[in-house]
Amino acid sequence: MKNFINYYYHFHIQDLHFSNEKYFFSNDQKKYMLKLCSNFDTLNYYAELSSQLQSYHYFFIVIPNIENSYITWIDNKSYVLFQLSNIINDKISIFDIRIDMFISLNDKISNLSRFPWIQLWENKIDYFEEWFSSKYDSYKKIYPLFHYFIGIAENALLYLKENDRDEVKEKSDELVISHSRLGINYELFDYYDPTNIILDHASRDVSEYIKSAFLNRIWDLDMMKNYLYKHYFSRYGLRVMYARILFPSFFFDYIEEMITSNQNIDLLYLENRADEFQNFIREISIFLEEKYNLPVIPWIIKKI
């Protein structure tokens, strides 16, 4: 690998070590990381994004190779080289999540937007409803739980639509740098890797982190309280955050994983998670209603 790096980037490196499926080395007192990359989407817009990303200091710089391409093919595998910033890698905490990294949009960069979520959620609900109706005989044991989670998803969708109707967006509701599915195992090197970013509402990353904490059973309401104490969200933003937390993506993820891997669906696991999710949503609902006087979904949601 050292010879490939020297050739494709005109470097003369000596130190090279491999860790967590990434290559690290130094050149001219600068630190670099070479990693496999299959997500080329953001790289298509990197030229337009780069100056804005660097204004936030910690984002890595993508280095083109001698062919002026951000992607280097080595042994039929695609790699991207980054110049690292001065951060120490670690698992992120909720307080590492930034909600103030706004982006000036143009038509090209706007293609990275993943907001609003209404159409995406409608498509996912429709897909699973059609799938279960065609597989009812095979999966009828979990149909009551499926119906329960679909009901929650539809409530989240309705709440999102009502929010668009009832609340006014503020400056803080403009699109910011976000990530597809940020969770408690995300690292700072992932967070500031420009190939991992999308554009979305500021509530996306923190909502996904909170749901990941729930999924991994380390959820504590103080996590949300302390974060909101330090970070401002408008009423519109708080309601968007609540809707995203309410949408039960973990259930859909689990079903998809079991189906694609041809594994049996664990009914007891889903029943336990449904009970835990109900308590999780109840706790958040009460807090948001009492603290911010927000309208919330009725927190006693009974399974059919």
Please give the average per-residue pLDDT across 90-118, as a whole number: 95
The answer as to whether 101 is a domain residue is: no
Same domain (yes/no): 67, 144: no
Rounded to the nearest 10 degrees, how much is the dihedral formed by the CA atoms of 263, 267, 273, 277?
110
Same structural domain, 25 and 157: no
Query: Which of 134-138, 162-166, 218-222, 287-291 has the lowest average pLDDT?
Result: 134-138
Token pair 């909720």 is found at 94
Q: Is 249 in the same domain as 202?
A: yes
Q: How far apart are CA 190 and CA 193, in angstroms?
A: 5
- 95 located within any domain: no
pTM: 0.93
User: Would 54 be classed as within a structural domain?
Assistant: yes
> Does residue 222 fall inside a structural domain?
yes
Number of domains composing the chain: 2
With H, G, I as helix, E, B as strand and everything else as coil, classify residue 210: helix
The boundaries of the domain holding residue 28 are 2-86
Q: List, as own/partner pairs, every contact residues 64-69 make where C-beta atoms lie below 8 angstroms and the sequence separation is at least 24, other chains included.
A: 65/8, 65/9, 66/7, 66/8, 66/9, 66/10, 67/8
Q: Quick one: 245 and 169 in the same domain?
A: yes
Say yes or no: 73 and 207 in one domain.
no
Residue 132 and residue 227 in one domain: yes
Beta-carbon contacts of residue 25 (< 8 Å; ≥ 6 apart): 2, 5, 11, 13, 15, 16, 17, 31, 32, 34
In tens, the pLDDT along 212-246 reads 999 999 999 999 999 999 999 999 999 999 999 99
Do 82 and 198 reside in the same domain of the chain? Answer: no
pLDDT tens digits along 15-74: 899 988 899 999 988 999 999 998 888 999 999 999 999 999 899 999 999 999 999 999
CATH code of residue 8: 3.30.200.20
Q: Tell me which residue has tokens 């001698």.
A: 66
Identify whether residues 272 and 152 lie together within a single domain. yes
17 and 126, same structural domain? no
99 falls within a domain? no
217 in the same domain as 68: no
